[in-house]
Amino acid sequence: MKVTYNEKDKLLTLQITEEIDHHYAEKIRTRADFEIQKYIPKKLVWDFANVSFMDSAGIGMILGRYKMITMFGGTMNMINVAPNVKKVFEMAGILKIIPIIEEIGGTEIGKCV
Amino acid sequence: MENVYENKMSLEFLSKSSNEAFARITVASFASQLDPSIEEISDIKTAVSEAVTNSIIHGYEDKIGIIKIECTLFANSIEIQITDKGKGIENIEKAKEPLYTSKPELERSGMGFTIMENFMDELKIESVVGVGTKVTMKKVIKDLKDSSE
Ligand SMILES: Nc1ncnc2c1ncn2[C@@H]1O[C@H](COP(=O)(O)OP(=O)(O)OP(=O)(O)O)[C@@H](O)[C@H]1O
Ligand SMILES: [Mg+2]
Judge whether A84 and B42 are in contact, CB under 8 Å: yes
pTM recorded for the entire structure? 0.93
Closest ligand 1 atom to A59 CA: 26
Q: Output the pLDDT for position A103.
A: 86
Maximum pairwise Cα distance, chain B: 52
Q: Please tell us whether the domain made up of A2-109 is placed in CATH 3.30.750.24.
A: yes
Mind listing the pLDDT tens digit for each residue in A64-102?
A: 999 999 999 999 999 999 999 999 999 999 999 999 998
Q: Are residues B107 and A63, on separate chains, in Cβ contact within 8 Å? A: yes
* Residue B42 C-alpha, separation from nearest chain A C-alpha, in angstroms: 7
Reported confidence tier of residue B5, pLDDT bands at 50, 70, 90: confident
Nearest to B124 by CA among B114, B132, B134, B115: B134
* DSSP letter assigned to residue B142: P
Rounded to 5 degrees, what are φ and ψ at A11?
-105, 120
Using an 8 Å Cβ cutoff, are A36 and A65 in contact? yes
Q: Which of residues 36-55 of A touch B (CB under 8 A)?
A: 53-55
For residues B86 and B129, give the distance between their C-alpha atoms in angstroms, rounded to a whole number.
8
| H/E element, A18 | none
Confidence of residue A112 (pLDDT cuts 50, 70, 90): very low
Question: ipTM value of the model?
Answer: 0.91
Distance CA A16, CA B69 (A): 29
Task: Name the average pLDDT for chain A.
Answer: 92
> What contacts B5, CB < 8 A, 6 or more positions away?
B72, B73, B74
Check if CATH label 3.60.130.10 holds for domain B7-142.
Answer: no
User: What's the gap between Cα B61 and its chain centre?
Assistant: 18
> Which residues 124-143 of chain B have a CB within 8 Å of chain A?
none
Q: Are B82 and B48 in contact (CB under 8 A)?
A: yes
Domain boundary assignment for chain A:
2-109
Ligand 1 pocket list (CB less than 6 A): A 56-57, 60; B 50, 54-55, 58-59, 84, 86-89, 95, 100-103, 108-113, 133
pLDDT above 70: residue A111: no
The pLDDT of residue A104: 83
Q: Give the Cα separation of A40 and A44 in Å (integer).
A: 9
d(CA A29, CA A59): 12
**DSSP of B64-129:** --EEEEEEEEETTEEEEEEEE-SS--S-HHHHHSTT--S-GGGT--S-HHHHHHHHSSEEEEEEET
Over residues A53-61, the mean pLDDT reads: 97
Q: Residue ranges per domain, chain B?
A: 7-142
B128 has a pLDDT exceeding 70: yes
